[in-house]
Structures are given as C-alpha cells and as structure tokens.
Amino acid sequence: MWWALPVRLRDAGMPVDEVTAITSLLVLPWALKFLWAPLVDAVRTPVWGLRSWILSAQFLMGLPLLALMWVDLASAVGLVTILLVAHAVCAATQDVAIDALAIRTTPPEERGSINAWMQGGMLCARGIFGGASLWAEQYIGANAVLLCLVLAVWGSGVLLLLAGPMDTRAAVRGGLGASARAIGHALARAFGRRSTWLGLGFALLGGAAFEMVGSVGGVMLRDRGHSTDLVGLFFAAPVLAVTIAGGFVGGRLADRFGRARAAGWSVVLTAAVVAGLAGIVALLPPGGGGGIFSPEILGLTAVYAMVGATTATSYAVFMDLTDPAIGATQFSAFMGATNLCESWSARVCGRVASVSGYPAAWLIGAVVSLAAVPILWAIARSLRRSPPAG
C-alpha cells in the first residue's frame, strides 16, 4: 500500500497526483480509527478480549486481499481501491487492539525501545511486501505475492495464540453499559487536558517532512531513471535496515534523555535531511546510471534513517500522554492524527510536485515539521504539571 502500490500505479501510466490521491484515501481508515476505538476499550469480557479483537481483525484483513487476485490493477482501479479500503478498515481495527495491548503492558521506562521493536517488526513486513515483492513479481507473479501476503497475515495470528496470558477482563464490572460510562468519563478527563490536544497537534504536523518524501519516494526514483527492480530491492533492504537502526538509536536516546527532547531533535534533523534531499534532486542530474549509490538514493536512505528515529521517539511521547484505561481510544486518536498527517501530506505533495517538482513539495513539508517542534516543548511542560492517570 505504501511502497509497492504507488510504483505499480506509476508504471501503469497513472499521473503522480492521481497516485497520491489513492494512497491518501487508503490512509483515512487509520486516521479515523479513533471513531470506533471506544468499542475495543468497552467490549472486553472473559470470553472476548484484546486477543479476540486482534485475531478476528486479522482474519477479515485477508479476505479483500484474496479477492484482489481476480482483479486487474490497471483496468479496475475503482474496485481495487474499494477492496484496499476494506482491508485498511480491518487492519486499522487490528492496530487499535494491538496499541491497547501495548499501552497496558509496556513499562514506561522502556517505551522508546519497545516502540523501536514494534516499528522494526512492521518495517520487516513492509520491506518484504512493499519492496522485495516488486522484484519477486517478475518470477512468481502478482497473485503469488498476494497469496504469500494473506498467509503471512493469517499465519502471524499463531504467534498470538501461543502468547502468554492476557488481560481479557471487562474494563469495569457491571456489563457493557457500565464499561461505556466509565470510558466516557475517562475520555472526558483525557480530552480535558491540554497535553492531549498538544499531542494531537504535533501528530498532525510533526511528520510532514518525511511523509511527503515517503509518499513519492519510489515514484521519484522511477522518474529519475531507476528500474522497478532496483526500487523494489532498495525498499526491501537498505531502507529496511537504516529505518530499523534509526528506530533503535532514537528509542534508546528517548529512554535515556527524555521522549519529548529526543523527538524534538529527531524532527529537526529529519527536516534538515529532507531539505538536503530536495537540494540533490533539484541541482543534480538523474542518477539512474549510478545504481544503488546514486545521490538521490543515498539521500533517500538518510531520510529513512531519520524516519525510524522520529517514529520511535514520537510514538513513545504519545504513550506517555495516554491514560491506560482508554489506551485503545486515546492512543488511536494520536495515531489517527499521524495517519491524517500522512494523508494530507501525500495529497499536498502530489499537487505541488505535479506543478513545481518534488523539491518544492519536500521543502514545504520540512517547514511544517519545524513549526511543530515548539509543540513538543509545550507537551513536556504539560506532562510535568499534569501526567495522565495510571
């Protein structure tokens, strides 16, 4: 959805602004998942808990992907988009339940590092099915890749079944009505705190720089003469390695020096690296002949290293802001805002890039990200004065 699909649509002749329009639409279920996240907080019983939410969502995630095996991507874009939106809704629901589990079980002093591990797992899958799949398609075909993806989604549920005991109790005694009332009170407290709104503001703006690069990174490489195979392998290996490494470095620094401080420095450095990539693309000729060591690939590699650091540190900040009693809902609101940032950034990037080029769009993203840094200072002050419950 994020790496392979844009490249395939571009190869089919779709304009950049239309490619980003589709990808920005597919982000919306993640941006809006906070609307149904209260169900995950409220509907938990001894029979139906977080494990049940995750497993059922994973099963439903696989069904639209199976249907895609009988649909042609180039000639049925509308149907493909509908199926992918259905998949995204199920995946976002799974994400809500996983976030709730993480909030309830993560020691506060390890949140930076644990977010790095979670990002590492997600990026491994994204590298395989967003990068290596572009290379593998020419040997095994697109349908085989989709089947492998479905098997991975369903097969990973086995790990959850093998996990140790989990808290599957209802949020409060007294049934669904009492649980809903308790969650309503907790939500009122959470969204009555200034720190919650500051967190939402930062989530909406802080990632603009790297989100604009990420939305068209593979497309930019194709436009500058790099082959689809090389783009796929680049996202499957170098991007994966440096993003995970950046996440672990950022996570460790966040746990040692403070999450808000580490996140602030990550955002500043990300904006600087994105500006450098914009300069490379604007001033240097296409480097398709340079292969994996071309300037634009090296610059994009540096951006993804900072993506890892910024993501790990920012998510740790959002965990610090979240009341565990409403972990699914409040953390989903923060994550939804980051996804909304991804959505609006992709749309703006596509519009600006189609008129003024990639560098102009990326510089706009860098400025927006820098403007979000003072919000982190305010978050740090608010957390010192009024930490969340739990």
The answer to the question of residue 349 being in a domain is yes
Q: What is the rounded average pLDDT for all residues in the chain?
A: 84
Structure-model confidence comparison of residues 132 and 366, the more confident one: 366
CATH number at residue 270: 1.20.1250.20
- Tokens 């519009």 sit at which residue? 351
HSE at residue 307, side-chain half, CA atoms within 13 A, is 27
Axis crossing angle, helix 295-321 with helix 194-205, rounded to the nearest 10: 170
Residue 390 lies in a domain: no
Q: Residue 280: its pLDDT value, please?
A: 93
pLDDT category of residue 271 using cuts at 50, 70 and 90: very high
What pLDDT does residue 249 have? 92
Strands annotated E in the chain: none
Distances 333 to 31, 47, 183, 286, 377 between C-alpha atoms, Å: 8, 26, 14, 40, 20
- The number of residues making up the chain comes to 390
Domain that holds residue 331: 4-166+176-385
| Lowest pLDDT segment from 212-221, 281-290, 353-362 | 281-290
Q: Mean pLDDT throughout 71-78?
A: 76
Question: Averaged over 324-343, what is the pLDDT?
Answer: 82
Local confidence band at 126 (pLDDT 50, 70, 90 cut-offs): confident
Q: Is residue 313 part of a domain?
A: yes
pTM score, two decimals? Answer: 0.74
Rounded Cα distance, 386 and 184, in Å: 20
- Is residue 88 domain-resident? yes
Helix (H, G, I), strand (E, B) or coil at 388: coil
Within a domain: residue 293? yes
CA separation for the pair 179, 374 (Å, rounded)? 37
Is residue 171 included in any domain, yes or no?
Answer: no
Q: What is the pLDDT of residues 3-20, one digit of tens each?
A: 777 777 777 777 877 777
- Domains of the chain: total: 1
Read off the pLDDT of each residue in 67-92 and give the average, rounded to a whole number: 85
Q: For 133, how many CA atoms within 13 A lie in the half-sphere containing its CB?
A: 23
Which has more confidence, 360 or 24?
360
Confidence (pLDDT) at 170 = 46
Select the more confidently predicted residue: 388 or 152.
152
Q: Do the domain assignments include residue 239? A: yes
